Amino acid sequence: MPRIADAFIDNAVYIYSSQEDAESGKAVGGSGFLVHVPFVETQNMQQTYVVTNRHVVYQTLTPVIRLNRIDGSVLGLVTNQEDWTVHPDGDDVAVMPIPSDPDQVRRMTIGLDRFVTKQLIEDEDIGIGDDTVMIGRFIGHDGRQRNTPAVRFGNIAMMPHEKIKSITGSEQESFLVELRSMPGYSGSAVYIYSTNTIQDMSTKRKGESMAPLSDFNLFGPDAQKHIHLMDLKMSPKGPYLLGIDWSHLNNEARVLDMVGRQHPEKLFVRENTGMAGVVPAWKIAEILGSEPLVNARHELEERLAKKRGATDQAQDARR
């Protein structure tokens, strides 16, 4: 696992149920992170969004986004549920635009060009075992006066072949990631961030034939015979946004008596397996590319262009 750049901490935000909770750092709510989408015509300008889970937004009427300011204080942005755009298919994702630079907020945003796509999975051979990083709230030691996110590390355990069923019965397309997830991390960004990964196992040496990788075992008795036929290209992957943490899978553990026998009433408790369900990044991209948000960005870009034009004219008139 590589050393994580400190700037990634500024990608995370905290979500609270009220301004009072945000000011006191109450151990409730969830996490979120910052993404950006560039404007079409105006260079070097973009719209910033907060991304979190739909269930984090819907558990309160007035979600409050807490961000760190450059001066060391925090900013609480009070929102309403109506301010957020959720996925039309019910995926556990919600996004909301925020001003480009509210009160000198510390921020690191990630663009759509770093989102994992189905094509990128093929091109980069992203799959089980790849290193992952999650950045969010470790409730209980998350910073009372300032957001101090904690980073958790893990690996992809299962690709999104079958949907994961939540405790409420809903089903969600998800990566299954061994991340030791727990309450408070809902809404956190999960990144692919691997180094020393075998990226290309099919490069031929000039004049030599290449047997399919499945035909031999690199670590078996035939390894030395075949290894000279290939060049192993070791290359890093990412960082790419794999998706957003939305759940952790629980296991039903039976309650036993002192000698290990099952309780006569067959009681059980739910224990956290640490396996995180991660909504794929392309689900976030689908919301950001939806017609309402595209139109809103276009309108904002036009207003900013007119404002810039009026400012330029005023400066020319003073010359």
Strands 30-38, 110-111: pairing is parallel
pLDDT of residue 51 exceeding 80:
yes
Q: Find the domain containing 244 and state its range.
A: 6-311
pLDDT of residue 62 exceeding 50:
yes
Lowest model confidence (mean pLDDT) among 11-25, 38-52, 69-83, 242-256: 242-256
Number of domains in the chain: 1
Residues 6+ apart with CB under 8 A from 69: 75, 103, 104, 105, 106
Answer whether residue 1 is part of any domain.
no
Answer whether residue 178 is part of any domain.
yes
Q: Are 33 and 187 in contact (CB under 8 A)?
A: yes
Complete DSSP assignment for 163-225? PEEPTTS-EE--EEEES---TT-TT-EEEEEEEEEEEEEEEEPTT-----GGGS-TTSTTHHH
Answer whether residue 263 is part of any domain.
yes
Answer whether residue 318 is part of any domain.
no
Answer whether residue 319 is part of any domain.
no
- Answer whether the bond into residue 239 is a cis peptide, omega within 30°: yes
Answer whether residue 157 is part of any domain.
yes
Answer whether residue 134 is part of any domain.
yes
pLDDT of residue 237: 84
pLDDT digits (tens, 9 = 90+) for 157-206: 999 988 887 666 678 999 999 987 666 688 999 999 876 555 444 444 44
Answer whether residue 316 is part of any domain.
no
Element (H, E) at 45: none
pLDDT digits (tens, 9 = 90+) for 86-120: 999 999 999 999 976 666 888 899 999 999 999 99
Q: Give me the CATH number covering residue 61.
A: 2.40.10.120
Q: What is the band of 207 on the pLDDT scale with cuts at 50, 70, 90? A: very low
Q: What is the pTM of this model?
A: 0.79
